[in-house]
Amino acid sequence: MKRICIAFILLLPLFSMAFGFENLEDKIDKWHGFERTHFTFNGRNAWVVKPMKPLEGKPWVWRAHFPEWHTDADSILLSRGFHIAYVNTNDMFGAPAAMQVWNAFHAYMVSKGFAERVALEGVSRGGLYVYNWAKRNPLKVACIYAEAPVCDFKSWPGGKGVGKGSPSDWQVLLKQYGFTEEQALAYKDNPIDNLDGLAAAGVPVLHAIGLNDKIVPNAENSFPLINNYIKAGGTATVMPMTRGPQNLEGHHFQIESPSAIADFISSNAYPVKPILDPAQFHVTRTGLTNSFIQFTKEKTGRVAFMGGSITENPGWRNKVTQYLTERFPNTKFEFIDAGISSTGSTPGAFRFASEVLSKGRIDLFFEEAAVNDRTNGFNNTAQVRGMEGIVRHARISNPLMDIVIMHCVDPEKIADYTAGKIPNEIINHELVASQYNANTVNWSKEVTARIAAGEFSWKEDFRDLHPSKFGQEVYARSLIGFLNKAYENIAADAAAINHVLPKPIDPFSYAEGQYGDVKQARIISHWSIDEKWVPKDGVGGRKQFLNRPALIATEVGAEMELDFSGKAIGICIASGPDAGVIEYSIDGKPFKKKDLYTQWSGSIHLPWYIILEDELKNKQHRIRIRMSADKNEKSKGNACRILYFLVNG
């Protein structure tokens, strides 16, 4: 009976379209006594079943594959006011191309007033669809009900374990994923894998299984998924179905209590909780047309991410790279991770050339610095000079470059927004973004608003300025939502246009920032070069700043000088427990002092960017640096370890 029903669905008329849907009046029929409307979506058959009395907020259930199999629980939900929906992505096995259709279908349903958070139902191979989509979009999922689900395609259709698999379906799957046999066997993102984000989002899971399933063996599918999900902190329940006939080698079984399944879905998907639209926290200025054209027509793309630890750490960045590779499947991407802990806009302006631009032409650039600009104590002028330095340098290097600036959240920013105040660093970064028509995503304001709306809490959910798994999903949902909207409705004949390079906000911005080689210094006394410096005091350092040349002095009176050309000079140092005080003079002027010890120096040799002068005439200069007898009362010595000179000009 199931195959007859599926065949019927597949034979329903399909209406050709370039994109989207035609209308909701293509065909209306009855589905188990309820009105069903068929329509064409992205050239595929889709339908929505309407309840007699829809619930407020329009909660809905989304069925994957086999939509006619075991519908009793859905009938109960329809009688309670739920809608049931389906889009035909059959025989795509949850591959990335299917996920693109699902992304678009969800967006369409939400645009029609349906709930943002949907209940997913996956039967058999439908497990590949519901879990693959849910892991990509955990904050859009109310709950998951899966029946004898495929949770690892190596088991079925691969047949690489105790199950016999399906050789013909395996070949189709390999084609859908673009895999060789070896690549498929090495794949590490089946439904059983990488469940942390889904668990962090608190998505409850219910599986109905037959204990003697030899087609989709539990030992290779439901059991490892449930076990992994619980280990990740997720809530999961398994309901073995032991009564009634067990057909198709135990894969088909009778659902003993459809009402329990309906209760599970109903209790988790209703009442519908309102969710703020991420778009209200985005500012689209020039959009992303240039990168879209590059990705779709040239089929190559170089995408760079720069920021502090929030960018360096895994999480939202990984989901954005996955989104881009799946959104543009024919594009050969290179992704540059230039996130380094503790760095903000001033460090970014000076490391941008060597760590980003040296890789080649950048087509799409993501930048965040709002947290570290405050944490590291940069003043308003420095914040503008740093961020303008990055953005202006970027646009000079490639006038076609699309830019997105993100404002990450911390407790201080939440306090500012709650008090009705815009945080200074966001004011400064938005000033630059507005001047250069760069797009911005204000995660700081968004998180504050979502907490105020009761969507989640800081203490229990987001937890820290280094986001929890849940917080990473909040960031990812917002940024991917921005990208989705930016890449919609770009005309096929659109042409790339150079972004206008405006007059600088600050003539002393670090737009020509670069690293200077420490080996260019002239040693006068008691400085030396350590070709592969690493800390030798048992205190660690940032990996990006180890095993590289360092210009080092540890004695009072050690002296050296450097000739440079430009408007600014500074030093990037490793500030550790023995960081001292330097005295410096530029062009023979009186010496000034700078304490190199930071509040974190006692526990790490911290990469610390210090601008000594940044309003010089753009010409040749000479700086002399010597170690002072003074030192911070917390310091254990008189050391200076220079990793780079910082030169603007």
Backbone angles phi, psi at 469, to 5 degrees: -55, -40
Query: How many C-beta atoms lie closer than 10 Å to residue 2's C-beta?
Result: 14
Run of H or E residues at 497 = none
Mark which of 248, 269, 290 sits at the end of a domain: 269
Q: Are 235 and 205 in contact (CB under 8 A)?
A: yes
Residues 190 and 323 in one domain: no
For residues 393 and 535, membership in a common domain is answered with no
Query: Domain containing 419 — which CATH number?
Result: 3.40.50.1110
Q: What's residue 21's pLDDT? A: 38
d(CA 628, CA 356): 36
Q: How far apart are CA 86 and CA 63, in angstroms?
A: 5
Q: Same domain, yes or no, for 232 and 324?
A: no
Q: Does 501 map to a domain?
A: no
> What is d(CA 309, CA 465) in angstroms, rounded to the nearest whole number?
10
CB proximity list for 426: less than 8 A, separation 6 or greater: 370, 407, 413, 442, 444, 445
- Show the CA angle centred on residue 582, arms to residues 579 and 584, nearest 5°: 155
Range of the structural domain that residue 90 is part of: 2-269
Please tell me whether residues 471 and 351 are part of one structural domain.
yes
Q: What is the CATH number of the domain that holds 59?
A: 3.40.50.1820
| Statement to judge: residues 523 and 474 lie in one domain | no
Mean pLDDT throughout 210-234?
A: 97
Q: Bridge partners of 406?
A: 368, 441
Same domain for 29 and 107, yes or no, is yes
To the question of pTM greater than 0.85 for the whole model, the response is yes
Output the pLDDT for position 26: 72
Q: Quote the pLDDT of residue 253.
A: 84
**Statement to judge: residues 455 and 395 lie in one domain:** yes
In this prediction, residue 642 carries a pLDDT of 98
For the cut 50, the answer to whether the pLDDT of residue 3 exceeds it is: no
In a domain, 504, yes or no: no
Phi and psi, residue 498, nearest 5°: -60, 135
Amino acid letter, 569? I
pLDDT band at 11 (very low <50, low <70, confident <90, very high): very low
Give pLDDT tens digits for 162-177: 998 999 999 999 999 9
Q: Could you count the other beta carbons within 10 Å of the beta carbon of residue 20? A: 11
Please name the helix (run of DSSP H) or strand (run of DSSP E) that holds residue 508, with its range, or none.
none
Contacts of residue 158, defined as CB under 8 A and 6 or more positions apart, other chains included, come to 165, 170, 173, 184, 185
Average pLDDT score over residue span 503-518: 98
With H, G, I as helix, E, B as strand and everything else as coil, classify residue 46.
strand
pLDDT at 506 over 90: yes
- Report the run of H or E that residue 354 belongs to, with start and end: helix 345-355
Strand segments, DSSP code E, in 51-134 are 60-64, 83-87, 118-123
Query: Is residue 75 classed as helix, strand or coil in its secondary structure?
Result: helix
Q: Is residue 492 part of a domain?
A: no
| Average pLDDT value for the chain | 94
- Among 578, 582, 564, 559, smallest CA distance to 619 is for 564
Distance CA 151, CA 124 (A): 9
Cα gap 64→120, rounded to integer Å: 8
Q: Taking residues 338-366, report their average pLDDT.
A: 97
Per-residue pLDDT at 25: 55
CB 417 within 8 A of CB 423: yes
On whether residue 500 sits in a domain, the answer given is no
CB 132 within 8 A of CB 125: no
Give the helix ranges, DSSP H, for 208-270. 222-231, 258-269
User: What pLDDT, in 10s, does the model give residues 284-334?
Assistant: 999 999 999 999 999 999 999 999 999 999 999 999 999 999 999 999 999
- The pLDDT tens digits for 238-296 are 999 999 888 888 789 889 999 999 999 999 999 999 999 999 999 999 999 999 999 99
Burial class (CB in 10 A: 0-12, 13-18, 19+), 609: buried
Shared domain check, 264 and 124: yes
Task: Pull the structure tokens for residue 391.
Answer: 């953005």
In this structure, the answer to whether residues 217 and 339 fall within a common structural domain is no
Q: Is the pLDDT at 144 greater than 70, yes or no?
A: yes
Residue finishing a domain among 214, 247, 269: 269
Long-range contacts of 22-28 (CB under 8 A, 24+ apart): 24/48
* Average pLDDT for 468-483: 98
pLDDT at 371 over 80: yes
Q: What is residue 35's predicted lDDT score, i.e. its pLDDT?
A: 97
Closest CA to 148 of 252, 220, 4, 74: 252
> Do the domain assignments include residue 626?
yes
* Residue 385, token pair as written in the block: 């000079």
Q: Do residues 424 and 531 both lie within one domain? A: no
Q: Are residue 109 and residue 9 in the same domain, yes or no?
A: yes
Longest dimension (CA), the chain: 94
DSSP 488-550: TT--TT----PPP----S-TTSSTTEEEE-GGGSEEEES-EEEEEE--SSS--B-GGGSSEEE
How far is the C-alpha of 105 from the C-alpha of 11, rounded, in Å? Answer: 21
Average pLDDT in the 189-195 region?
98
- From 220, 252, 269, the end of a domain falls on 269
Those residues whose C-beta lies under 8 Å from the C-beta of residue 601, and which sit 6 or more positions away, are 575, 576, 577, 579, 634, 635
Tell whether the model's pLDDT for residue 544 goes beyond 80: yes
Q: How far apart are CA 97 and CA 81, in angstroms?
A: 32
Residue 348's H or E segment, with its range, is helix 345-355
- Cα(353)–Cα(646) distance, integer angstroms: 12
On whether residue 494 sits in a domain, the answer given is: no
Total domains in the chain come to: 3
Distance CA 248, CA 341 (A): 55
* Torsion sign across C-alpha atoms 636, 640, 641, 643: positive
Residue 497 inside a domain? The answer is no
Pair 155, 300 in one domain: no
CATH assignment of the domain containing 605: 2.60.120.260
- Has residue 316 been placed in a domain? yes
